[in-house]
């Protein structure tokens, strides 16, 4: 590369010398110098991206400042009220707050099944139930973002199941253990606000730090193989990172499903929940717009999409390429990204999901 630059400079100097006695020498000289300057600027911009014999097929992260990466690791230390967490966990697993007293929050968000609806449980749902893990990092709750936070989401579930808070309060007050625990934590005992607060506190504790990728971001380069590092680079270069970034690798924005293609036209029959955010705002621009899902633990939380229509991660990657990036992602690229996504599986209470 530098030999080429040297030859170009030599050629220009010879041209200047040859034209020394010509009338238009000054103009000619200025023109050549200008062309040379533009050419050198372009080269200086491109040189860092050109592969050499020393870096082909390998990614070097030595001395890299990971604080500038668009993805951030989940904090390991979290300050929560442990008494509230414990009480909230009991309520989360207690069917006492369901309409018929048979289903608990944990039936649809099974902690032992990556926080999603277990395949073994025959519970009919209209929409794909997202994992409850790391949901506290989402800027909105539900696919259509109809709840601003976890406590509002709890109220939403109650009202959508045609259950009244007065009934729940009466049921909880009939349990002597709950009466004692609430009094220890809250001065005013069992109230709607306190029930929501304790469950939300428990849900905030449902974090999955220490994925291999998080450890890699903290400087442990050996946590990822060369293949997985290439997968991360491919994930960024293709544009996936534009929507899937931040601490939750998603969950922090709305995006139209079908930026470069009409997914819903190809799907055929539309269901009410397919309209996404539009169902909340009624604005045309919000049709088919959804909260971008988190990619944390994505390898263990199938099926995918808001309608649960995609069963494998490979298919989901190809589909996202087509409708969100306007690209046909090759099998090699799918393989690389798949390997990267598998590094996003974290730990809960010291065990990998």
Count other C-beta atoms under 10 Å from residue 75's C-beta: 11
Helix or strand run (H / E) with residue 347: strand 347-348
Q: Which of the listed CATH numbers 2.40.50.100, 1.10.760.10, 3.20.20.150, 1.20.1260.10 matches domain 66-74+209-253+292-352?
A: 1.10.760.10
Q: Is the CA virtual torsion 252, 254, 256, 257 positive or negative?
A: positive
Please report, in tens digits, the pLDDT of each residue of the chain (353 residues total): 444 544 554 555 455 445 544 445 455 556 656 666 676 656 555 544 443 333 334 455 665 667 789 999 999 888 999 999 999 999 999 999 888 888 899 999 999 999 998 876 667 788 999 999 999 999 999 999 999 999 999 999 888 877 889 999 999 999 999 999 999 999 999 999 999 999 999 999 999 999 999 999 999 999 999 999 999 999 999 999 999 999 999 999 999 999 999 999 999 889 999 999 999 999 999 999 999 999 999 999 999 999 999 999 999 999 999 999 999 999 999 999 999 999 999 999 999 99
- Kindly tell me the sign of the dihedral angle through the C-alpha atoms of 42, 48, 54, 57: negative
* Global confidence as pTM: 0.81
pLDDT tens sequence across 102-124? 889 999 999 999 999 887 666 77
Task: Write the DSSP assignment of 180-221 as a string of letters.
Answer: HHHHHH-TT-S-HHHHHHHHHHHHHT------HHHHHHTT-G
Query: 119-144 burial, b for 16+ CB within 10 Å, e for fewer?
Result: eeeeeeeebbbbbbbbbbbbebbbbb
What superfamily does domain 82-204 belong to in CATH? Cytochrome c-like domain (1.10.760.10)
- Between strands 254-256 and 289-291, the pairing is antiparallel
Report the pLDDT value the prediction gives residue 45, as an integer from 0 to 100: 52
Q: Which two tokens stand for residue 300?
A: 């263990």
Which one-letter DSSP state was computed for residue 69?
A: S
Quick one: pLDDT at residue 245? 97
């Amino acid at each position: 590369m530098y030999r080429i630059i040297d030859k170009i400079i030599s050629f220009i100097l010879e041209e200047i010398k040859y034209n020394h006695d010509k009338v238009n020498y000054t103009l000619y000289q200025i023109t050549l110098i200008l062309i040379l300057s533009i050419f050198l600027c372009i080269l200086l911009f491109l040189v860092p991206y050109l592969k050499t014999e020393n870096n082909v097929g390998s990614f070097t992260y030595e001395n890299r400042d990971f604080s500038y990466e668009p993805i951030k690791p989940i904090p390991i230390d979290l300050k929560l009220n442990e008494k509230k967490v414990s009480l909230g966990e009991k309520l989360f697993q207690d069917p006492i707050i369901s309409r018929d007293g048979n289903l608990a929050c944990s039936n649809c968000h099974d902690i032992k099944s990556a926080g999603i609806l277990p395949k073994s449980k025959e519970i009919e749902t209209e929409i794909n139930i997202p994992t409850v893990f790391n949901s506290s990092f989402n800027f909105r709750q539900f696919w259509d973002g109809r709840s601003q936070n976890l406590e509002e989401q709890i109220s939403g579930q109650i009202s959508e199941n045609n259950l009244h808070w007065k009934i729940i309060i009466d049921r909880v007050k009939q349990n002597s253990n709950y009466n004692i625990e609430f009094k220890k934590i809250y001065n005013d005992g069992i109230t709607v606000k306190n029930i929501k607060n304790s469950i939300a506190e428990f849900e905030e504790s449902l974090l999955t730090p220490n994925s291999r990728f998080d450890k890699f971001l903290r400087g442990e380069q050996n946590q990822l193989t060369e293949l997985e590092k290439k997968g991360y680079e491919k994930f960024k270069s293709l544009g996936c990172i534009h929507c899937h970034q931040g601490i939750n690798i998603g969950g922090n924005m709305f995006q139209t499903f079908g930026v470069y293609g009409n997914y819903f036209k190809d799907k055929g029959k539309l269901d009410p929940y397919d309209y996404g955010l539009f169902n909340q705002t009624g604005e045309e621009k919000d049709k088919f717009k959804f909260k971008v899902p988190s990619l944390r633990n994505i390898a263990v939380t199938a099926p995918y999409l808001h309608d649960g229509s995609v069963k494998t991660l490979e298919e989901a990657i190809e589909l996202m390429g087509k409708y969100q990036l306007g690209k046909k992602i090759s099998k090699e690229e799918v393989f690389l990204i798949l390997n990267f996504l598998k590094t996003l599986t974290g730990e809960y209470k010291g065990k990998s999901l």
